[in-house]
Amino acid sequence: MFLLQAQPGGGFGITPIFFGLMILVFWLFFIRPQAKKQKQQKTFLENLQKGEKVVTIAGIHGIVNKVNEDGTLNLEINPGSYIKIEKSAISMEWTSQLNKPAVATEKK
């Protein structure tokens, strides 16, 4: 029978490579997608214009009435009813779902 024994200093070269691969995988699956999403959110908020239908992170639906220079929006939630909110309170995901064209489904 052969017994496997670790030899001193035998596995030292593999540890830094393994550690580097772990960092690469972490960056590819966590950091990079998050940075991409933040960039999309920033672009989305910068391009908001008067008349767009939006949904806030609190679930309030409205139409942008005015984009203010101080990073806020005047949002019309009912005809004649306005609220002032921060641009960062607009949900990109919910707004895109709201503005997505409705797909007609056929019933058989």
What is the C-alpha to C-alpha distance for residues 25 and 57, in angstroms, rounded to an integer?
31
Question: What pLDDT score does 104 carry?
Answer: 57
Is 108 within the bounds of a domain? no
Together in a domain, 94 and 58: yes
Together in a domain, 61 and 40: no
Question: What pLDDT score does 101 carry?
Answer: 75
Half-sphere exposure of 85 (CA within 13 A, CB side): 23
pLDDT along the chain (108 residues), means of 10: 55 78 88 90 91 93 93 93 93 86 61
Is 4 within the bounds of a domain? no
Report whether 85 contacts 67 (CB < 8 A): no
Q: What letter does residue 6 receive in the DSSP assignment?
A: P
Together in a domain, 35 and 75: no
What is the C-alpha to C-alpha distance for residues 75 and 48, in angstroms, rounded to an integer?
12
Question: What pLDDT score does 78 carry?
Answer: 93
User: For residue 43, how far is the Cα from the chain centroid?
Assistant: 11
Question: What pLDDT score does 70 carry?
Answer: 93
